[in-house]
Structure 1
Amino acid sequence: MIDQLLVTAKQAASAAAQVIRERYDLPRTVRLKGPNDLVTDTDTAAQDAALRTIREAFPDHAVLAEEDPSIRPDEHGVWPIPDGICWIVDPLDGTTNYTNRIPFVCVSVGVTIDQIPVAGVIVDPLRAEMFSAAQGQGAMLNGSSIRVQKPVPLHSAVIGLGWAYTRGLSYHIVDVLSPLARRCRTTRALGAAALGLSYVAVERLQLYFNLGLKPWDVAAAAVILSEAGCEIRQPTGAPWHLGIPMLMAAHPTLLDEAVTRFVSHHSS
Structure 2
Amino acid sequence: MTRENKWIDIGEVAKAWVVEAAQQIKQALEGTFNVEAKSNPDDLVTDVDRSTERFFYEKVTSHFPKHHFLGEEGTAEKLDRLDGTVWIIDPIDGTMNFVHSQYHFAISVGVFHDGVGKVGIIYDVMNDEMFYAVQGEGAYVRDTKLKTITTSSVNESVVGVNARWLVEQRAPFRGELERLVRDVRGVRSFGSAALELAYVAAGRLDGYVSLKLSPWDYAAGKVLLAEVGGTITTLQGEELSLLEPSTLLAANSSLHSAIVDQYIKGE
The answer to whether TM tops 0.5 is: yes
1:26 to 28, 31, 38: 31
- Kindly report which structure 2 residues correspond to 1:1-268, keeping only aligned pairs within 5 A, or say none: 1-35=6-40, 36-68=42-74, 70-71=77-78, 80-101=80-101, 103-162=103-162, 171-172=171-172, 174-243=174-243, 245-265=246-266
The alpha carbon displacement at 1:33 in A equals: 2.1
Contact 1:88 1:215 in 2 (8 A): yes
Task: Report the Cα offset of residue 89 of structure 1.
Answer: 0.7
- Whichever residue aligns with residue 122 of structure 1, its letter is I
State the distance in 1 between where 2:50 and 2:103 align: 19
The percent of aligned pairs where both chains have the same amino acid is 32
Distance 1:51 1:14 in 2: 15
* Residues 15 and 46, structure 1, Cα contact 8 Å, conserved in 2: no
Amino acid corresponding to residue 3 of structure 1 in structure 2:
I
User: How big is the shift at 1:21?
Assistant: 1.8
* CA distance in structure 1 between the aligned counterparts of 2:147 and 2:174, rounded to whole angstroms: 30
Larger RCO: Structure 1 or Structure 2 (Cα < 8 Å, ≥ 6 residues apart)?
1
3-state DSSP of counterpart to 1:151:
coil
RMSD of equivalent CA atoms? 2.4
CA distance in 2, matches of 1:44, 1:163: 28
Q: CA deviation at 1:96?
A: 0.8
Q: 1:164 to 1:46 in 2, by over 3 A?
A: farther
Which shows bigger deviation, 207-216 or 96-105? 96-105
CA contact (8 A) 1:235 1:262 kept: no
* Cα distance in structure 1, aligned partners of 2:242 and 2:169: 20
**Runs of 4 or more consecutive aligned structure 1 residues displaced over 4 Å after TM superposition:** 162-165, 167-170
Letter in 2 for 1:259: V
Encode CA deviations 1:166-198: one digit per residue, 9 max, x unaligned: x96884454341231111012122211111111
Change over 3 Å in CA distance of 1:41–1:239 after alignment to 2: closer
C-alpha distance in structure 1 between counterparts of 2:114 and 2:169, whole Å:
30
Which has the larger displacement, 212-221 or 239-248?
239-248
- 8 Å Cα contact 2:172-2:211 kept in structure 1: no
CA contact under 8 A between 1:12 and 1:109: conserved in structure 2? Answer: no
Unaligned runs of 5+ in 2: 1-5
Pair 175,189 (structure 1): closer, same or farther in 2 beyond 3 Å? farther
Calculate the TM-score normalised by the size of structure 2.
0.87
Q: One-letter code of the match for 2:43? A: D
Alignment-mate amino acid for residue 56 of structure 2: A
Alpha-carbon distance change, 61 to 147 in structure 1, aligned in 2, over 3 angstroms:
same
- The change in CA–CA distance for 1:127 and 1:115 in structure 2 (over 3 A counts) is same
**1:181-232 per-position Cα deviation (integer Å, ceiling 9, x unaligned):** 1110121222111111111011111101112111101111100011022111
Secondary structure of 1:34 counterpart: coil
- Tell me which amino acid in the other structure corresponds to 2:63: A
Instruction: Go from structure 1 to structure 2 and tell me whether the alpha carbon gap of 1:136 and 1:193 turns closer, same or farther (over 3 Å shift).
Output: same
Deviation at 1:24, TM superposition (A): 2.6
What is the distance in 1 between the residues matched to 2:164 and 2:64? Answer: 33
Question: Residues 5 and 90 from structure 1, CA distance in 2 versus in 1: closer, same or farther, beyond 3 angstroms?
Answer: same
Native 8 Å contact 1:139 1:224 kept in 2: yes
Q: Distance in 1 between matches of 2:169 and 2:224?
A: 27
Over 3 Å counting, the alpha-carbon distance change for 1:71 and 1:161 in structure 2 is farther
Unmatched tracts of structure 1, length 5 or more: 73-79
